Amino acid sequence: MLRILSSIQEIGDGRKGAILLISKAGQVFLAGRTTARRQQLLSCRLMHVRGCFRLQGKVALVTGGASGLGKATAREFLREGAAAVVIADVDARSGQEAAQELGPQADFVECDVTDEPQVAAAIDLAVARHGRLHVMHNSAGITGPLASPDVSALDLAAFDAVMAANVRGTLAGVKHAARAMAPEGSGSIICVSSVSGIMGGLGTHSYTISKFAVAGIVRSMAGELSRRGVRLNCISPFAIPTPMVLEQFAQIYGNGGAGTERLQAIVEGLGELVGAKCEEIDVAKAAVYLASDESKFVSGHNLVVDGGFTSYKQLNMPMPDRI
């Protein structure tokens, strides 16, 4: 089945009023008689159209897709032509609302990533409904207790809860996505780490250790999966004013009168890159790249989306004029 994508006023050789059509497979056609040259020009033109089908026909599963970065990524996958996106989240109400909001190509399955059978079942459901799984995006995670006490007072029960969601849950996603993808000889698995997994002191001990471990999963397993045709990468984003992050900052500042807008400004002001701020769409677009065939030879990589924050550390030393 073909559908009209856009009306092109002029196609290279001066032909007026041509109609650009695209099939579900992403093939470009020109209504009426055409030439190879026109097809080439149309293909080039198509690449400049927003939502240029970089994920055309792909099936993706996004854990933690009910809100925040997961939801933003699911939305961007669909904008880029994904045939279907399965949202897997422990929050059934928000997950169902997100799937309804994103449209008929979005499904929802309730899934607690700390329970491996639920992760396996979510992936099996995606394959059963849509034929196969091309992209696995492991975005589910928690921050744990806000306070980072003295190491000698660390609550290991709270630590275990963070590790169960962020590390074990991610590992379960990698394991069962690989099970589904390896027989096909292709696929992209994406994990979400953090700048807290690159340098210490940016988060609590539990959260920081968990995000270092997520990056470690990628480094440890990418080589093995590459030999099966499956790519494994991760994204390490900077702080973004998602609901989870804003809730953290609200706890930090307590009842000091800092409203949502003020808290958002504080988060956005943490970066180093002048003239830009890290937004959900930046991380979602990084995920699109790693999910797409544009990154077909990229595996074992940690794509850092932080505006250069972790590449520079100001030394704690006095300036010459203060000696």
Q: Per the residue annotation, which of 207, 253, 289, 312 is the catalytic one? A: 207
* Distance (Å, whole) CA 64 – CA 45: 35
Q: Which of 198, 116, 121, 123 is nearest to 165 (CA)?
A: 116
The residue type of 232 is L
Give ∠ CA 253-255-257 in degrees, rounded to 5.
85
207 in catalytic set: yes
Cβ contact 117:98 at 8 Å: no
Q: Which of 237, 243, 244, 230 is nearest to 214 (CA)?
A: 237
* Distance (Å, whole) CA 2 – CA 115: 42
As given in the structure block, the two tokens for residue 155 are 């609550």
DSSP 183-219: GGT-EEEEEE--GGGTSTTSS-HHHHHHHHHHHHHHH
The residue type of 215 is A
Give residues with Cβ within 8 angstroms of 306, minimum separation 6.
195, 236, 237, 238, 271, 278
* Distance (Å, whole) CA 308 – CA 323: 30
User: Where in the sequence numbering do the catalytic residues fall?
Assistant: 207
